[in-house]
Amino acid sequence: MRKAGQGGLVYSTEGGRMCPACRQALADCRCAAAPARPTDGVVRVGRETGGRGGKTVTVVRDAGGTDEALAALGKRLRNACGTGGTVKDGVIELQGDHRDKVVAALQAEGRTVKRVGG
């Protein structure tokens, strides 16, 4: 059962992701319904291999900010590490094990960083 004001178009092949409030493309949204992701102020950097065919991926979680800010941070980290990667659902994924470079780059930006995992 759908509540009033929920649901509807979330993705369009023409415009990409859509704003749930005004139903415009996120790039054209002016209602500011795309809030920053909540965070506790600590960026967590880890390494994962599960579900990736044995490939190692450096994962940056809880960076906070809007989707555009995360995309820009992801680009800066990819350039700093000299590798490829993506931003999915508020998580930055970088190909390979680059935890030391990522931690150094984030600390240089003045962020509080914590290494998680092994």
pLDDT at position 92:
94
Residue 2 domain-assigned (yes or no): no
For the question of whether the overall pTM of this predicted structure is more than 0.75, the answer is no
pLDDT at position 2:
41
**Whether residue 43 sits in one domain with residue 14:** no
Q: Which residues of 35-65 are buried (b: 16+ CB within 10 A; e: fewer)?
A: eeeeeeeebbbbbeeeeeeeeebbbbbbbbe
Give mean pLDDT, residues 66-75: 89
Residue 1 domain-assigned (yes or no): no
**Which CATH number is 78's domain given?**
3.30.780.10
112 pLDDT band, cuts 50/70/90, is very high
Range of the domain at 11: 7-34
Q: 116 vs 27, which has greater pLDDT?
A: 116
Number of domains observed in the structure of the chain: 2
Torsion sign across C-alpha atoms 96, 97, 103, 104: negative
Q: Where are the beta strands (DSSP E) in the chain?
A: 11-12, 16-17, 42-48, 57-61, 85-88, 91-95, 112-115
Which ranges in the chain belong to alpha helices (H)? Answer: 67-81, 99-108
